Amino acid sequence: MQVVKYVFQPHGDERGQLVSLEEYNDIPFEIKRVYYMYSTVEGAVRGHHAHKSLQQILFCVHGSCKVLLDNGREKKVVPLEKPYEGLYVANNMWREMYDFSPDAVLMVLASEPYNEADYIRDYDEFLKYVNVTKAEE
Ligand code: TYD
């Protein structure tokens, strides 16, 4: 499984850092939604779902967390620790976010508005959807 992590060049000067993200230039899709999570409780796991068509890029703009990516056949754990790094999460990819530092702010850029019908929240259903049989797992 190929993990795509974008590393952006911050505009830094004596005042500090600034990261700019433009749709199509920096982000490979039209940004239809932005959401972020913070005050995540110690030990909490978020995500635990896949999307049928949504693409996303995850930024831990403050603090750190880990992201488990699972395409049904292979799993990878990706740490997000830098505010200028964005993890691309394609559709048909199971994801779980965990190990949030108390100060973590996880910002997500999404290619579509919120749509519950696009979610696959059951892992066995996800395996069926991506055509992975239990024996292969
Ligand atoms: P949830 O899907 O449980 O978040 P995660 O999978 O990242 O842990 O979403 C939590 C709540 O927020 C749920 O009631 C749905 C709502 N929500 C929106 O209204 N809009 C959104 O864009 C998202 C991501 C969630």
Q: Are 112 and 34 in contact (CB under 8 A)?
A: no
pLDDT at 32: 98
For residue 54, pLDDT over 90 is answered with yes
The mean predicted confidence, pLDDT, of the chain is: 96
Question: The whole model's pTM is what?
Answer: 0.94
* 46 CB within 6 A, ligand 1: yes
* 114 CB within 6 A, ligand 1: yes
Domains of the chain: 4-10+19-136 (2.60.120.10)
For residue 94, pLDDT over 80 is answered with yes
Q: Is 106 exposed, middle or buried (0-12, 13-18, 19+ CB in 10 A)?
A: buried
| Percentage of the chain modeled with pLDDT above 70 | 96
CA 43 to chain centre: 18
For residue 135, pLDDT over 90 is answered with no
* CA dist., res. 130 & res. 97, Å (int): 21
Reduced to 3 states (helix: H, G, I; strand: E, B; else coil), residue 46 is strand
pLDDT at 132: 75
**How many angstroms is it from 37 CA to the middle of ligand 1?**
9
Which residue reads 């972020």 in tokens?
36
Across the range 93-119, mean pLDDT stands at 98
pLDDT at 134: 62
pLDDT in tens, 20-52: 999 999 999 999 999 999 999 999 999 999 999
* 36 CB within 6 A, ligand 1: no
Helix (H) / strand (E) containing 125: helix 123-129
pLDDT at 45: 98
* CA dist., res. 119 & res. 25, Å (int): 27
